[in-house]
Amino acid sequence: MVIDYQQEMFDQIRSETPAELVDLNIRFLIRTAKAFGMPIVLSTVGVELGVNGPTKSSILAELPGMREIDRSSMNAWEDEAFREAVRATGRKRLLVGALFTEICLAFPTVEMLRDGYDVAFPADAVGGLSQIAHATAIQRLVQAGAVPTTALAFGTELFRDWKSPVADKARELVKGYLSDLPGVTSPHVEGA
């Protein structure tokens, strides 16, 4: 689930992962999901109301032709179209990313857990309005039963072994990610 990765939200991130790294991490997760044939649900808040703009262009570029489910509710799970899109995936294990951690990630994740979904979230691909807001939301999510992970950990957990049948695809994704990290030159990927 890719929820509310809109420019207005990126402009307000004040937690430890800088906005440009949140952007990189969610794009890596989208690329990973696409490479492994995982369904993606994309949602925005307040676009039709004129409150916010669409999904940030760098992220939309990774999802050509994908329909954004625009909502008025801060809690994506309260939106019928969003719930139906999630249910239509047929998946019970979800990876949910959203801006802000304390609102657009925490609210739907807690309800998804209550509705029987297993939910993980990429702690380095989300951000909050402040460090305390972000950290408090992380605690809330973990206490509710959501599993924290990171973008790279999630990606590597999918293939687990450099000798696996999907290792070449994974190697390409990881190399691209590492080369895009700020301040990194000539990444070395074990097994590459």
The structure tokens 């760098």 sit at 58
CA dist 83 and 73 (Å) reads 12
Q: Count of CB atoms within 10 A of residue 149's CB?
A: 18
Query: Which are the catalytic amino acids?
Result: 104
Amino acid at 56: K
**CB environment 37-58: b (16+ within 10 A), e (fewer):** eeebbbbbbbbeeeebeebbee
